[in-house]
Amino acid sequence: MSFRTIQGGAAPRSGVTKLPHDRSDLLWSGGEPTPLFLDSIDRWVDAMVADEHGGGDGPGGFVEAKITAKAAGILCGRPVAERLLERHFPECSIQWGPVEGGPVARGDVVATLRGVADDVLRLERILLNLLGRLSGIATNSTRWAEAGRTILVAATRKTEWGLLDKWAIHIGGGLTHRLDRSDALMLKENDLSAMRGEGEDVPKIIKRVVSSLEFRRSMNENAGFTVIEVRDVEQSLAAATAWDSVQSARGGDERLVLLLDNMGAVGADEVHRALTEAGLRRRCILEGSGGVVLESLGEWSQSGVDLVSSSALNRGIVPLDMSMLIGGGE
């Protein structure tokens, strides 16, 4: 496959530090999808084609069809569409208008598809579903990224199309977050409960586990970052204090992600202030999570967090409406 320049993506904005939650380099490298991403693309497009059950018979002859945007948004899905053609419809060709991540306006020709009529008709619904959904996610992610102001926005692992959702979020300007369970060393409420010793409360569990780092040896050593879920100031201070001791002893400078679960912007601000007063803020990345909505991003941007994460970037979004007409008709 060959691709034009990719536009969009979660480039750091002025005053915003790059965060380890951007795992897009594991999806795209050197102008091509990585083997990880390509494997995911192949499984998804294979399933889409299989669900058509052949698509039925159609007319012969060579035709040209134009895919047109019926609403404004951000285009996403070119690499997936090109792989679909390469893998299942090699006699068809596609010529694009916008680049991946580029803006489209209502009425813009997104792509021109050429091939045997039977193949083009079989491709119609697959392509429109694919481009519509991924472009819808990218468009929505752009809204979130712009509303975040001084903070970044990230996805969660609550996806419907797996890594395709993650790609669309990245193209829209959001952070992918973990691509799979092993992509970060993450301790959440259930993990901590399973590690509870007799008579231990949560802050003591957190301090013991972080200090010993036993969990590192039981998880993927190639994980990109470490996350601890906390629910209040006390738990946050326990985790940050233990982490600071470990990093100081090692001469390390890795930052711990504190996942502030369902604390809201006000609770997050309290954690930010407490860590700052204790001299521990530099050791931590603060991630707001739980109940985050687009309308609350202004408040979150004033809370002291580095980013927020939400499944609303990719779940329940409206696909970008597109249509395909053979012969270029109106």
Q: Annotated binding residue at 122?
A: no
289 is known to lie in a ligand binding site: yes
Distance of CA 158 to the CA centre of its chain: 10
Report whether 255 belongs to an annotated binding site: no
The reply to whether 93 sits in an annotated binding site is no
**Is 2 known to sit in a ligand binding site?**
no
Is residue 311 marked as binding?
A: yes
Collapsed DSSP state (helix, strand, coil) of residue 209? helix
Q: Is 312 annotated as a binding residue?
A: yes
Regarding beta strands 226-230 and 185-187, do their DSSP bridges make them parallel or antiparallel, or are they unpaired?
Answer: parallel
157 is in an annotated binding site: yes
Q: Is 156 annotated as contributing to ligand binding?
A: yes
* Spatial contact of 133 and 155, defined as CB atoms under 8 Å apart: no
Q: For residue 32, report the phi and psi dihedrals to the nearest 5 degrees.
A: -140, 155
Bridge-based pairing state of the strands 284-289 and 307-309 = parallel
Q: Which two tokens stand for residue 34?
A: 């990585």
- Angle (deg, nearest 10), helices 78-88 and 117-147: 160
Is 310 annotated as contributing to ligand binding? yes
Is 158 known as a binding-site position?
yes
Say if residue 180 carries a ligand binding annotation: no
Distance CA 137, CA 256 (A): 29
Q: What distance in Å separates the CA atoms of residue 125 and residue 16, rounded to the nearest whole number?
A: 40
The answer to whether the beta carbons of residues 72 and 115 sit under 8 Å apart is: no
Contact 231, 262 (CB under 8 A): yes
The answer on whether 229 is annotated among ligand-binding residues is yes
112 token code pair: 């021109």
The burial class, CB within 10 Å (0-12 / 13-18 / 19+), for 95 is exposed
Q: Enter the DSSP assignment of 255.
A: P
* Residue 4 marked ligand-binding: no
- Cβ atoms of 119 and 89 closer than 8 Å: yes
Which residue in 179, 231, 174 sits closest to 19, CA to CA? 174
Distance CA 186, CA 201 (A): 19
> With the CA atoms of 241, 242, 246 and 249 taken in that order, what torsion angle do they form, in degrees rounded to the nearest 10?
60
Name the binding residues for substrate: 125, 156-158, 178, 188, 229, 261, 289-291, 310-312
Annotated binding-site residue numbers: 125, 156-158, 178, 188, 229, 261, 289-291, 310-312
